[in-house]
Amino acid sequence: MTKETGKDRPKWRRRAEARPDEVLDAALDLFIAHGFAATRVEDIAARAGLSKGAVYLYFDSKEAILEALVRRSIVPVAKNAAEMARSAPGDPRDVIRMMVTLVAGRIGDPRISAIPRLIIAESGNFPRLAKMYREEVLDRALTALETLIRTGVERGVFRPVDPRLAVRNVVGPMLAHALLAGVFGITEGDGADPRRFVESHLDILLNGLAVEREET
């Protein structure tokens, strides 16, 4: 029986296709801990266990890393919400309920809600980031929601509200909920349980949109 040498021993290697996600995970950890501006590409590389040059094989800049984080975690949520609006033929109230529950559930994850906060914080310094977020996330999700509200108005399910303004009434409380928890630390112990928030928001929203019924 021969002794296995270090030369003969098979080496463990990370799969190349997994490395971009390792870079993104490391970058998000550092962006959350130190902020986008204070994080260097070499810091991300060190945390991911790669060389700085290896990071640049996958992402050509720190801004590209943040864009990739948006595309990995936020864009799929917007696509799912838009698909719900497009493919669901039923009551628009039910579709809005599903959309709000989906989005609120996702932004309830601190590692996901951190990404829009980073975009907001850096949009003034990196307008391309804001443009990308608007085109790939906001335009997609808000247009779908606006269409649903307009459909509800046309069917007589909702009051004759301005759909473009109503969309802001839908999204605004959800953003505020995420910011109160993520920025100001108002968490579940302070009454911000995600499920209770969604129930409360939908109650106020859908009753506010509902057509007034004449008393008999």
- Per-residue pLDDT tens digits for 138-195: 999 999 999 999 999 999 999 999 999 999 999 999 888 887 877 787 776 655 577 8
Full set of structural domains in the chain with CATH:
16-61 (1.10.10.60), 74-209 (1.10.357.10)
The pairs formed by 154-157 with CB atoms below 8 angstroms and a separation of 24 or more are: 155/92, 156/211, 157/91, 157/92, 157/93, 157/210, 157/211
The pLDDT confidence band at residue 13, using thresholds 50, 70 and 90, is very low
Structure tokens at 48: 């991911």
Q: What is the mean pLDDT of the chain?
A: 87
More confident residue, 200 or 3: 200
Asked if residue 215 has pLDDT above 60, the reply is no
pLDDT at 106: 86
For 167-203, b/e burial (b = at least 16 CB within 10 A) is beebbebbeebbbebbeeeeeeeeeeebeebbeebbe
The whole-angstrom separation of Cα 37 and Cα 123 is 12
Radius of gyration of the chain, Cα coordinates, nearest whole angstrom: 22
Which is nearest to 29 in space by CA: 53, 6, 16, 45? 45
Question: What stretches of 59-173 adopt beta strand conformation (E)?
Answer: none
The pLDDT confidence band at residue 116, using thresholds 50, 70 and 90, is very high
The pLDDT confidence band at residue 4, using thresholds 50, 70 and 90, is very low
Q: Angle between the 92-107 and 194-209 helix axes, to the nearest 10 degrees?
A: 150
The whole-angstrom separation of Cα 68 and Cα 52 is 17
The whole-angstrom separation of Cα 155 and Cα 195 is 29
pLDDT at 1: 45
Mean pLDDT, residues 197-202 taken together: 92
Q: Angle between the 139-154 and 92-107 helix axes, to the nearest 10 degrees?
A: 150
